[in-house]
Structure 1
């Protein structure tokens, strides 16, 4: 199971790296062409924008996994140990419900946009809006993988750890 989790986290990380790498290549090529030839790529800005949307949603699960999202811990810190665990458990359940709802909303919205084409790339907006349900589905998987340790100890798994080790998160 740990091996599958490492493969999943690495694949997710490489997806973010590839998307992040593609954005400056596209924008840089567009700038170079504009100054060297006087012509630019009509689709470059649009492609970079949509890649940024995908990067945000695909990377959100990795940020959740490492405790990198904003957290306000005043209530948790004021509670005794068992109360903290109960609060963290409730938080995980609320997040799972919310993420599941957003997957559903994202699928519905992406399907509604399947016949509308992007202005420059001329691809269906379905591929742009699919980032939302994909990203929230990834958030669900990452949350389920870190939830047991988070609820018990308030720590997060560090995606950079090869052995699946733990590091103190924002709430730790």
Structure 2
């Protein structure tokens, strides 16, 4: 494999490692916030107004980050009935076509996500009073991460195909 491709994959793996830590921190924060909400509501008799909104935004960001990591580590749910019934060579080509479809879909989602984010920049969330651009930006940023990881997986599939 050429050095620039190895370097790109190495950088993406470092980024993914950091994203994994970020995802763990986000999950911990979400768990603490939800636990605090339950404690306040049922023990103290008063709820936190902002907890549900914060948990929802963390969950949306977590889904996009987790999806990007799942693409890289081949952990996404996929329909394998057709590739299992096809000859190995044809199944490998089918997977490459799927990667290209994902790249096109990422482009579409990224451009529309950017447009949506720009449209809601001045809106504020109800409880936290954050710019709605923060939760909405999870779409283009998450899609970019999915795209970058799909490129890595596609490169690896091309290179493995050449080695075989």
TM over 0.5: yes
Shift of 1:119: 0.7
Aligned counterparts of 2:141 and 2:50: Cα–Cα separation in 1: 24
Aligned to 1:66: 73
Aligned counterparts of 1:35 and 1:79: Cα–Cα separation in 2: 56
Name the count of aligned residue pairs: 154
Question: Alignment partner for residue 142 of structure 1, among 149, 152, 160?
Answer: 149
Contact persistence 1:85–1:152 (CA under 8 A): no
Range 78-87 or range 60-69, more displaced: 78-87
TM-score (norm 1): 0.80
Aligned to 1:126: 133
Aligned to 1:32: 39
Shift of 1:89: 1.7
Range 9-18 or range 75-84, more displaced: 75-84
1:78 aligns with 2:78: no
Cα-to-partner distance string for 1:93-130 (whole Å, 9 max, x where unaligned): 11101011101111111111112211111111111111
Of Structure 1 and Structure 2, the greater helix share is in 2
1:51 aligns with 2:58: yes
Shift of 1:3: 4.0
Aligned counterparts of 1:28 and 1:8: Cα–Cα separation in 2: 30
Q: How large is the Cα RMSD of the aligned pairs?
A: 2.0
